[in-house]
Structure 1
Amino acid sequence: MLPRPVLMDVSRLLSRAGSAVPTGIDRVELEYALYLMRFPASRVLFVAYHPVGRIGILPRKLTDCFLRILARAWAGGTRPSRTASLLAGLLLQAAALGATGRAKQRRTYLLLSHHHLMQQEAIAAFLKRADAGMAVMVHDLIPIEYPEYARPTEPDRHRRRMDTVGRLADSVIVPSRPVGDALHDYLAPQRSCPPVSVVHHGCLVPSGPPASAGPLAPDAPYFVILGTIEPRKNHLLLLNIWRQMATEGGTAPLPHLVVIGRRGWENENILDMIERCPALQGIVHEHATLSDSAVAGLVRGARALLFPSFAEGFGLPLLEALAMGIPCVCSDLPVFREIAGDLPVYLDPLDGPGWRRTIQDMSAQDRPATGGAPPSFADWPTQVVAGLAALAVIEGVGRPDAAPGMPHPAGTIPA
């Protein structure tokens, strides 16, 4: 049973109605929404933000229909049907009315993305009208901590989002302790940090028999990098390593590299290498739109998943690969050690020679077992219940007046 009625915001999902490839945050929000759909409208309603500056409750049956269409399309690696876009338009019109419904008890406004966190006045007005406290998920503070990896306007936008969290949120869920620490460090000088709980994301692995990569898999040993193509993911490290291996030759067979992910931003150098570097043609393979089962098939057939990111708030691809028994080589980041323990091979994201040696060694040998699943694995319903339990505990405590700016005591939710 939910501790309080929930008003879950699905604005981000509505904005993605025409997208064939979900981001990690899209997948997280959709899984929470699909789980909360199981509850009756007396306990869970969905809401959204309209650009006119209002947040309103959405018709429940239409929202459920939209979410199911989106889930089917993304699972199949296809663009959602036109019906999804039409429903998204209808739902946004409903949001523009700003309806809040009748509340018999105080409710929880649950915002699981950064979609409109800049709109502080609109959120504050909705909270007052709806008689709701705000619980928000902060995925990372990367645009503030590492502005060089973001679009030029994004650091200021993200500061505004975090300022909204500090002023309006009653509680915060973060996917890892480093994100919670970063949020506290940012908000503590303003003495406005809400209570924070760490709840790891669930692990999304396609059900059913193991998928085969089929014709997508290269006819050679290969490695996979999975994620949006952007500078922070450090694709250039791997592309330069592959160019070196290709041009230097040698007697050992040259492994291939499979790049899976949509094209992001500030990535001209990466795309130039993929498209125009002669040495990489035929050995680096890019896939932007694949079904979950096709991605799983490619990952299962790889010698290892490579994850050389400079910064991450979590790392879903890492956990998903380990859950499938696939070795992983990743950057030595605190968040990866938190969620994956000693299972991956850890390397400095700037250690090109180290990455090359590891890749060549793994290419020449039979693929080893990973040694078990990370301890943080859980199915999505368990994670959702843990998240909502965190909200119940925190909302019962309220903001810590005795020590403003301090996070909620560790251990509210097991990490």
Structure 2
Amino acid sequence: MQRDLLIDISRLIWRTWTGRLPTGIDRVCLAYVDRFASRAQAVIQRGNLRQILTPALSDAIFRLIREGGPQFRTRAPRLAMRALVAQRGGQLGEDRLYLNVGHTGLDATGLVAWTEKARVRPVYLIHDLIPLTHPEFCRVGEDIRHHRRMANALASAAGIIGNSQATLDEFAAFAKAEGKPCPPMLPALLGGHPLPADAPPIALDRPYFVTLGTIEGRKNHVLLLQLWRRLISHNPVACPKLVIIGQRGWEAQTALAMLDRLPLLQGHVDVIEDCGDTALAGYLRGARALLMPSFAEGYGLPVVEALGVGTPVVASDLPVFRELAGDMPIYCDPLDGATWLAAIAHHLQEGEIRKDQLARVQGFVMPSWEAHFAAVTPWLASL
């Protein structure tokens, strides 16, 4: 029996094949497979090849994706590659909705033509427009690629899902600048990633703060390192520890140079590049607060994770953070070091400001995938 949806699984297949650690976008792709696999066929892209897989082959790959483990990593890519080669001509979409929730192949020059030829109606989930709004924090040329992604989405989409209203506002601004109308759009907050409830707080030799995320320019680690440099110079004995949880990324030369070559920070700043969920929950529960001085964010999952375990947050005043967390964080300008120092000082004491924030955090309700799909499913049916 023909399925009424098509789901692009390319990102899950090829990233796993190369051994990369799962990202937030990967988790979104997996959530959509979990939700819609029973009524969907899989779509695979590789270079200029795109195929709609048969229901039987789709079920086999969906099963491998959901089971995970070594079988998925070895068998799923081989099945996908054979399908790309064997199904020459492929199946037609027959006007079905095609869900692409991982930006997969959105920059490809042949994407729009394929959607027309294959008779599919694309629905794209847009995660951010950071390469266009903040190109200085991205790899060279990424702004050009992302412009193609967003232009292709505008040219072919039957609908656009935004991971937040903030993202959709930026997409609408892009469409206006391009002189193009927006397709139907739906904001739907992504489900949070609940951390283990039984993970105890991790205690270090002194109070500590956590910052969470890839070490890249837009995360503004430099601000925190400069603040810690000042705190250490002022009173090394009383200085709290800074725990940076995240892998080394890009456009962060100054931050990485400070971490690698500034002896003053040693013993006061720890970097954890590989941190499982249990350890992450422990660090967040043990921290005085999560610090997020980002210049730009597509979503802000660390804020959700910290608030989800009851940890206060000090964050840049970004629209997406306000959408996710309301008045629960302390908001600071990402360039105003003095306000960050003041917020850190407040959380080193048990004063009224900290007590008030701890009380507000108790009312946080983590966005859920149930709520996400409760909004998305009927909206898809309306397209």
Same fold by TM-score greater than 0.5: yes
CA deviation profile, 1:28-67 (whole Å, cap 9, x unmatched): 2222222333x2xxx1122221114323327234323432
Determine if contact 2:102/2:125 at 8 Å carries over to the other structure.
yes
Cα deviation, residue 156, structure 1:
0.3
| 1:29 alignment partner in structure 2 | 29
Q: 1:381 to 1:278 in 2, by over 3 A?
A: same
Instruction: Give the AA of the match of 1:260.
Output: I
Instruction: Give the AA of the match of 2:23.
Output: T
Q: Does 1:249 align with 2:235?
A: yes
Identity %: 38
After TM superposition, the structure 1 = structure 2 runs for residues 143-154 of structure 1, keeping only pairs within 5 Å, are 143-154=131-142
Between stretches 185-194 and 60-69, larger displacement belongs to 60-69
Separation in structure 1 between the aligned mates of residue 108 and residue 236 of structure 2, nearest angstrom? 57
Determine if contact 2:43/2:50 at 8 Å carries over to the other structure.
no
**TM-score, scaled to structure 2:** 0.89
Q: 1:140 to 1:51 in 2, by over 3 A?
A: same
Determine if contact 2:115/2:122 at 8 Å carries over to the other structure.
no
CA deviation profile, 1:265-315 (whole Å, cap 9, x unmatched): 112221111122111112211112222222122111111111111011221
| 1:163 alignment partner in structure 2 | 151
Separation in structure 2 between the aligned mates of residue 360 and residue 191 of structure 1, nearest angstrom? 48
- In structure 2, stretches of 5+ residues that fail to align are none
Q: 1:99 to 1:202 in 2, by over 3 A?
A: farther
Q: Does 1:125 align with 2:120?
A: no
Determine if contact 1:49/1:56 at 8 Å carries over to the other structure.
no
Separation in structure 2 between the aligned mates of residue 219 and residue 338 of structure 1, nearest angstrom? 35
Q: Does 1:51 align with 2:47?
A: yes
- Of the candidates 76, 80, 84, which is equivalent to residue 91 of structure 1? 80
- Of the candidates 204, 207, 214, which is equivalent to residue 228 of structure 1? 214
Separation in structure 2 between the aligned mates of residue 305 and residue 170 of structure 1, nearest angstrom? 39
Determine if contact 2:207/2:288 at 8 Å carries over to the other structure.
yes
Cα deviation, residue 69, structure 1:
4.7
Q: Does 1:67 align with 2:30?
A: no
User: SS at 1:266's partner residue?
Assistant: coil
Separation in structure 1 between the aligned mates of residue 72 and residue 146 of structure 2, nearest angstrom? 32
Determine if contact 1:222/1:255 at 8 Å carries over to the other structure.
yes
| 2:336 alignment partner in structure 1 | 351
Separation in structure 2 between the aligned mates of residue 213 and residue 371 of structure 1, nearest angstrom? 20
Separation in structure 2 between the aligned mates of residue 102 and residue 351 of structure 1, nearest angstrom? 55
Q: 1:370 to 1:91 in 2, by over 3 A?
A: farther
| Higher normalized helix content (fraction of residues) | 2
Instruction: Give the AA of the match of 1:60.
Output: S
Between stretches 229-238 and 240-249, larger displacement belongs to 240-249
Instruction: Give the AA of the match of 1:360.
Output: A
Separation in structure 2 between the aligned mates of residue 268 and residue 19 of structure 1, nearest angstrom? 25
User: SS at 1:285's partner residue?
Assistant: strand
Say how many residue pairs are matched: 372
Determine if contact 1:56/1:98 at 8 Å carries over to the other structure.
no
Separation in structure 2 between the aligned mates of residue 293 and residue 98 of structure 1, nearest angstrom? 46
Instruction: Give the AA of the match of 1:149.
Output: F
User: SS at 1:346's partner residue?
Assistant: strand
- In structure 1, stretches of 5+ residues that fail to align are 71-79, 396-415
Q: 1:218 to 1:331 in 2, by over 3 A?
A: same
| 1:274 alignment partner in structure 2 | 259
User: SS at 1:325's partner residue?
Assistant: coil
Separation in structure 1 between the aligned mates of residue 260 and residue 109 of structure 2, nearest angstrom? 42
After TM superposition, the structure 1 = structure 2 runs for residues 195-214 of structure 1, keeping only pairs within 5 Å, are 195-207=184-196, 209-212=197-200
Q: Does 1:300 align with 2:285?
A: yes
User: SS at 1:228's partner residue?
Assistant: coil
After TM superposition, the structure 1 = structure 2 runs for residues 330-349 of structure 1, keeping only pairs within 5 Å, are 330-349=315-334
Q: Does 1:321 align with 2:309?
A: no
Determine if contact 1:34/1:67 at 8 Å carries over to the other structure.
no
Separation in structure 1 between the aligned mates of residue 363 and residue 149 of structure 2, nearest angstrom? 32
Separation in structure 1 between the aligned mates of residue 329 and residue 123 of structure 2, nearest angstrom? 33
Higher relative contact order, chain-length normalized (CA < 8 Å, sep 6+): 1
Determine if contact 1:173/1:198 at 8 Å carries over to the other structure.
yes
User: SS at 2:371's partner residue?
Assistant: helix
Cα deviation, residue 377, structure 1:
3.1
Separation in structure 2 between the aligned mates of residue 314 and residue 279 of structure 1, nearest angstrom? 33
Between stretches 219-228 and 370-379, larger displacement belongs to 370-379
User: SS at 1:87's partner residue?
Assistant: helix
CA deviation profile, 1:217-261 (whole Å, cap 9, x unmatched): 53221111111110001111001111111122166x221111111
Separation in structure 2 between the aligned mates of residue 232 and residue 100 of structure 1, nearest angstrom? 42
Q: 1:171 to 1:132 in 2, by over 3 A?
A: same
Cα deviation, residue 21, structure 1:
3.0
Determine if contact 1:221/1:302 at 8 Å carries over to the other structure.
yes
Determine if contact 1:340/1:374 at 8 Å carries over to the other structure.
no
Q: 1:20 to 1:160 in 2, by over 3 A?
A: closer
**TM-score, scaled to structure 1:** 0.83
CA deviation profile, 1:345-382 (whole Å, cap 9, x unmatched): 00000011110121122123386425246776332133
Instruction: Give the AA of the match of 2:25.
Output: I
CA deviation profile, 1:318-360 (whole Å, cap 9, x unmatched): 1121121110000011111122111110000001111012112
| 1:9 alignment partner in structure 2 | 8
Separation in structure 1 between the aligned mates of residue 300 and residue 21 of structure 2, nearest angstrom? 17
| 1:176 alignment partner in structure 2 | 164
Determine if contact 1:8/1:46 at 8 Å carries over to the other structure.
yes
Q: Does 1:378 align with 2:367?
A: yes
